[in-house]
Structure 1
Amino acid sequence: MVRPREGRKSHLMAVPDSRDELRSFLAAAGRGRGRGPRRDAVVGYELRIELGGVTPTVWRCVVVPSTTMLDELHDVVQDAMGWVDSHLHEWRTAADASAPAAERYGMRLVVDEGDHPIDACESDVRIDEVLAERGDTLYYEYDFGDRWEHRVVLAHVVDAVPTPLCLDGERACPPEDCGGVPGYEHLRAVLGDPRHPDHEALRTWAGDDFDPDLFDLDAASAALTARAEIRRHSPPRGTALAALLARIPALYAPSLYALLLRARLSSDDERVELPARDAEGMTLLAWLLRRTGADGVPLTSSGYLSPAVVAEAREVLGPRYAWAGKSTRELDNPTVLAIRELAQDLGLVRKYRGKLVCTKRAAGPRSDPDALVDYIAARLPLGADEFEREAGLMMLLSVAADADGEEQRRAMLEAATALGWRMGDGEPLTAKDAVAAAGSNRRILHHLGVDLGFGTMPERRPAVVRELARRALRGPSR
């Protein structure tokens, strides 16, 4: 036994061994619960979400599947309450809002930065790990400046639901950036007093339609339904696009999310059977690999394909390639030249002793069109920096969704603006700037047969290239 130091009182407490008693014991000690085991069966969790410190109370009642991850629950809180997801957030398990947190769960970008003491990423924690029985509580803080504290209580365990539902609620969510609880109290007081000198200014700032005592259940339900659709069509977790979308609120980039719903990127979607001849760039690339074969094809002394090989390539392209004239010099045939250079850039062919030869990487893609699509998809998006790769992801999404040029430009500009991108001189981006940021990704898609819609030509989105974009965005094949 350890003898207590002189002058200090010592209290011994028996630690209970039952689950319920242990939880009560920890709560009494000022600590919350950490993560527990997940439920074996899926049930519904009826949650009461209450905004702390605000009088009269702002609350919502929602039902979510017990398999909901905390990053998904974040979306539910945002949509049901009426926030616009423009600030950071964090989860805490604690006996009460002021008690030391047992565990903290943060956003992926906060976890990756490593500057804050976070126990786990919210996308790795399931709600039934932290809420198990009626009365269990979780705290959600939104906007570390205004510090909006939400108390999330498991009110009832009910039958399973396929998607989140909003059942009830009272009063409007405070406007974003109103200064937290003190600022909101001041705002309510001023809006309620037409004679106040700041009444007109704050009414204009808050909006004529803002009524602090009004809760629109239909609007909250519609927001949750729209979010469920986005989740259903989203790319698998862990992909580059999923990480990018996590940084772009749907409210600020509706055109981008409209493309997401059309792109069919969910892990439940099947791979599309590739058409035999659909995009001239893909057709010519596949032909070049077969023609090069194991023995290679001759090059001129200047390092270009021989006229005889160029003539064969022109036959593959067919009569619609007559616009290039009759020359069989590779320099006079831009499509042939671009595809040969693309094959080199992709590491499928190389120049060796006066010939163009296939590399070892070309063994599968040379004989299997599906393997060729997978090979290219695995290398996209390209980019010398993060901006080019992320713009490439946006462009790939527009191709996967079969978007026309105007849709693509609008979606990419919205997304880039939501991400806070600016020109080097600090000026805002234009739609043309956002598309140009895709760089080498734009060039590859163009060479493979995609008209990116910058002129007056009709839009073309070959099915094989749309499938290539889908595979690139969904990550490695399952």
Structure 2
Amino acid sequence: MQRPGTPNGQPDDAELLRQFQAVLAGMDPGDEQEILQQLLNAPAPSQRRERRADVVTYRVRVDLLETQPPLWRRLEITSDMFLDELHEVLQAAFGWTDSHLHRFTDGVEQFLCPFEMEEREVGTPEHEVRLDEVLVEPGDTLLYIYDFGDDWQHEVRLEAVLPRDEGAPRAVCTTGRRPGPPEDCGGVGGYELLVAGTDPAHPDHTAARAEFDRVYGLDVLDGGLAPTPFVIDEINVALAALPGPLPEPLASLVRAVLDPEEQARVRALVDAASIDQPTAIDAETAAWMVRPFTWLLDRVGEDGITLTGAGFLPPVHVEAAMTELGMADEWIGKHNREAQTIPVLELRETAQKMGLLRKNRGRLLVTATGHKLRTDPVALWRHIAARVPPKSSDPGEIQAGLTLLLAVAAGKTGDLDAIVAWTLHAIGWVCTDGEPIDSGLAGRIAQPTEAVLRRLGALTGEFYRGDVRPWPGGIEFAREALRTTA
């Protein structure tokens, strides 16, 4: 049975109005005023669409509004670009220097730059919005505003949706018209005055110089202030130099840092990690690194191990692991109870998280994946790398683990926990008392990732002494993890 109104059972506008009036009729004036105020303050529903399943090339024309004749650029850009990346593209295309605030809007929703997010402006962070959420069909537009004083308004209009060629640049300028304005020239009016005043052939040249002298002084005009030449090759060189896309969730880590200076520091760490370089691992090195896992897989064997009533490894296996894997110096105690022998507990739990072992009816068993990888150390090495940081419902734990991997991949030495601490602080994490996260707490947050690195022999030295050195095989492992972690 359908509700009255539209054919699909949804009420039409007249029915909705009638229902709304009926609700208001039963309210006292105070409640009615409160409801109306809430309606006035409610944000408009988002117009964003679902992201495309495929990646295509968008041909867009970007016009600097109110310029005559029109000042514009035509770009071909990848559809999976985020708006913070598009900001960098537009800066390069028009010759801006990123010296002012900016904002995107689709006419309904505001997509804010990092500074605006820090100031708690109402809107959505631009780094969370992908281009194909706001531009879908040819004719769709997006407004980009740069420098809220000069108010440069750029209309980004989708002209065509094209197949994406493998290896195509993420952004390229194909054509355009007119030089770009210099910074702080007074908006469109100041730009047109500048164009006329610097071009002796312009019909308004004399009048423009007189007006420029009155407002700014001719020393400014004759001191070198001029439009930015429109040279496609130079624009494309600048576009090619922009940072490339990062694998997720590493891209999310960088975008989570809103402060531009701090984000630049994280970007520098990413660059130092050289994750764009292919990893090189030989069978001998891989076998040495994954030995604790292959030992455990062999120990569990075809028949599995019956666990204790509490679900732990029996003492005989704990003692064997500590002795045969050379872990006796890592922990205090008798090394016979897994719950109190953390190196063994971490090894077993990590193997489960990696899908190598599973529990079933009180027994620890090797999974099909574990059986397949047990005799292929390189494949096992890559399998583990693709699952670091270990899965967690705590975003801070993932971000800490990624930062630790970046530090290792970059070959950093010393207090790696300090690097994790400042990254977490830059993202906005603080202690419960509001104090910044220190190295000690950062180390505990990153511990699941550190445990894997330790067990693989990727690190030497002592974290608690701030004296850590990545081993070359560990650097390669960290790079592989950063490149392949889903």
User: What runs of 5+ residues in structure 1 fail to find an aligned partner?
Assistant: 1-33, 93-100, 110-114, 175-191, 193-210
Q: Residues 63 and 155 of structure 2 are in contact (CA less than 8 Å); yes or no, is this contact kept in structure 1? A: yes
- Aligned twin of 1:139: 143
Out of 270, 286, 300, the residue aligned to residue 292 of structure 1 is 300
Instruction: Tell whether 2:85 aligns with 1:77.
Output: no
Q: Residues 260 and 397 of structure 1 are in contact (CA less than 8 Å); yes or no, is this contact kept in structure 2? A: yes
User: What runs of 5+ residues in structure 2 fail to find an aligned partner?
Assistant: 1-47, 115-121, 186-215, 217-222
- Aligned twin of 2:211: none
**Distance in 2 between residues matched to 1:330 and 1:222, nearest whole Å:** 67
Q: Residues 229 and 261 of structure 1 are in contact (CA less than 8 Å); yes or no, is this contact kept in structure 2? A: no
Q: Residues 292 and 455 of structure 2 are in contact (CA less than 8 Å); yes or no, is this contact kept in structure 1? A: no
Q: Residues 397 and 473 of structure 1 are in contact (CA less than 8 Å); yes or no, is this contact kept in structure 2? A: no
1:294 Cα deviation after fit: 0.7
**Distance in 2 between residues matched to 1:117 and 1:428, nearest whole Å:** 26
Query: Under a length normalisation based on structure 1, what TM-score does the superposition of the two structures give?
Result: 0.54
- Aligned twin of 2:243: 231
**Distance in 2 between residues matched to 1:457 and 1:254, nearest whole Å:** 26
User: Alignment identity in percent?
Assistant: 23
Out of 434, 449, 470, the residue aligned to residue 460 of structure 1 is 470
Q: What is the identity, as a one-letter code, of the residue corresponding to 1:364?
A: K
Q: What is the identity, as a one-letter code, of the residue corresponding to 1:304?
A: P
Q: What is the identity, as a one-letter code, of the residue corresponding to 2:314?
A: G
- 223 and 390 in structure 1: CA distance in 2 versus 1, 3 angstrom threshold: farther
Give 3-state SS (helix, strand or coil) of 1:232's partner: coil
Out of 256, 259, 281, the residue aligned to residue 266 of structure 2 is 256
Out of 385, 393, 411, the residue aligned to residue 394 of structure 2 is 385
Q: Residues 348 and 359 of structure 1 are in contact (CA less than 8 Å); yes or no, is this contact kept in structure 2? A: yes
Query: Under a length normalisation based on structure 2, what TM-score does the superposition of the two structures give?
Result: 0.54
- Aligned twin of 2:104: 90
Give 3-state SS (helix, strand or coil) of 1:429's partner: coil
Q: Residues 48 and 153 of structure 1 are in contact (CA less than 8 Å); yes or no, is this contact kept in structure 2? A: yes
- After superposition, give the CA deviation of every residue in 1:234-269 in whole Å (9 maximum; x if it has no partner): 22xxx2222332333553233321232244545xx6
1:43 Cα deviation after fit: 9.8
- 125 and 428 in structure 1: CA distance in 2 versus 1, 3 angstrom threshold: same
Matches within 5 A, 1:75-224: 75-77=88-90, 81-83=96-98, 89-92=103-106, 101=107, 121-124=129-132, 138-141=142-145, 150-152=153-155, 162=169, 169-172=180-183
- 86 and 344 in structure 1: CA distance in 2 versus 1, 3 angstrom threshold: farther
- Aligned twin of 1:96: none
- Aligned twin of 1:445: 453
1:352 Cα deviation after fit: 8.1
1:297 Cα deviation after fit: 6.3
Q: Residues 415 and 468 of structure 2 are in contact (CA less than 8 Å); yes or no, is this contact kept in structure 1? A: no
Cα RMSD between the aligned structures?
A: 5.9
**Distance in 1 between residues matched to 2:439 and 2:372, nearest whole Å:** 39
Q: Residues 374 and 468 of structure 1 are in contact (CA less than 8 Å); yes or no, is this contact kept in structure 2? A: no
- Aligned twin of 2:430: 422
Instruction: Tell whether 2:328 aligns with 1:313.
Output: no
**Distance in 2 between residues matched to 1:307 and 1:70, nearest whole Å:** 49
Q: What is the identity, as a one-letter code, of the residue corresponding to 1:172?
A: E
- Aligned twin of 2:480: 470
- After superposition, give the CA deviation of every residue in 1:124-143 in whole Å (9 maximum; x if it has no partner): 259795579xxxx7421469
**Distance in 2 between residues matched to 1:417 and 1:307, nearest whole Å:** 38
Q: Residues 349 and 357 of structure 1 are in contact (CA less than 8 Å); yes or no, is this contact kept in structure 2? A: yes
Q: Residues 60 and 169 of structure 1 are in contact (CA less than 8 Å); yes or no, is this contact kept in structure 2? A: yes
1:224 Cα deviation after fit: 9.2
Q: What is the identity, as a one-letter code, of the residue corresponding to 2:356?
A: L
Give 3-state SS (helix, strand or coil) of 1:459's partner: strand
- 459 and 142 in structure 1: CA distance in 2 versus 1, 3 angstrom threshold: same
- After superposition, give the CA deviation of every residue in 1:296-315 in whole Å (9 maximum; x if it has no partner): 4698998224488448824x
- After superposition, give the CA deviation of every residue in 1:315-370 in whole Å (9 maximum; x if it has no partner): xx6xxx79679x99667997566534543555534678998642455233323331
- After superposition, give the CA deviation of every residue in 1:141-200 in whole Å (9 maximum; x if it has no partner): 469x9996622468x99xx994557995433369xxxxxxxxxxxxxxxxx9xxxxxxxx
The higher relative CO (CA closer than 8 Å, separation ≥ 6) is in 1
- Aligned twin of 1:4: none
Q: Residues 296 and 358 of structure 1 are in contact (CA less than 8 Å); yes or no, is this contact kept in structure 2? A: yes
The number of equivalent residue pairs is 367
- 127 and 108 in structure 1: CA distance in 2 versus 1, 3 angstrom threshold: same
Q: What is the identity, as a one-letter code, of the residue corresponding to 2:315?
A: Y
1:423 Cα deviation after fit: 1.9
- 395 and 292 in structure 1: CA distance in 2 versus 1, 3 angstrom threshold: same
**Distance in 2 between residues matched to 1:85 and 1:285, nearest whole Å:** 53
- 460 and 67 in structure 1: CA distance in 2 versus 1, 3 angstrom threshold: closer
Q: Residues 273 and 406 of structure 2 are in contact (CA less than 8 Å); yes or no, is this contact kept in structure 1? A: yes
Give 3-state SS (helix, strand or coil) of 2:398's partner: helix
1:424 Cα deviation after fit: 1.4
- 302 and 468 in structure 1: CA distance in 2 versus 1, 3 angstrom threshold: closer
- 310 and 467 in structure 1: CA distance in 2 versus 1, 3 angstrom threshold: closer
